[in-house]
Amino acid sequence: MIKAEHIYHYSDSHCLNKVKDMSKFPAWFNRAYKRWSRSQPGEEDFLAFCDLLGQKPVVVLAWLHGETVPHEAELLPIAALLGMDVYGLLNEPEPDPELLKIFHSFSHLTGEFRLRLAQALFEVRERMGIENLSFDLKQTETIIDNVFKKYGLT
């Protein structure tokens, strides 16, 4: 179960470190993409890679060129496909292992649905932490139900 204590707090120094780490991400992401491409049977193309990440090609190109970096829920599909190194590289905390297990259990979904699942899981985690309440089962179910409806996952 996603617990409220898994909320991450960022300091100003975290933001400064993230700017420094942005320069490392494009090279790592390019190498990881090339490794992925070579490991695929047949001719997997860039669009298939984007679909696995649940992203539009323009977003993935921006990551490859270092114009932007992924964050929060966007990191989960990258980590699932290319490895957990992405969290350390961007100086981001790794997700709760239970969150990763839940995400992996839906590997049969297309990239877009998996990204929506990741976004919903992160939002559930945030809402449970922000409200900082002791949740009973009914409250937890209500939060999960509302968030999953928001992302079209019901």
Per-residue confidence (pLDDT) for residue 91, from 0 to 100: 93
Per-residue confidence (pLDDT) for residue 17, from 0 to 100: 44
Q: What is the C-alpha separation between 128 and 21, in angstroms, rounded? A: 29
| Domain spans, the chain | 4-150
Per-residue confidence (pLDDT) for residue 63, from 0 to 100: 96
pLDDT in tens, the chain (154 residues): 444 433 333 333 344 444 445 679 999 999 999 999 888 877 668 998 998 898 999 999 999 999 999 988 899 899 988 999 999 999 999 888 887 888 888 877 777 888 888 888 888 888 877 665 566 778 888 888 999 999 888 7
pTM exceeds 0.75 for this model: no
In degrees and rounded to multiples of 5, residue 11 shows phi and psi of: -105, 175
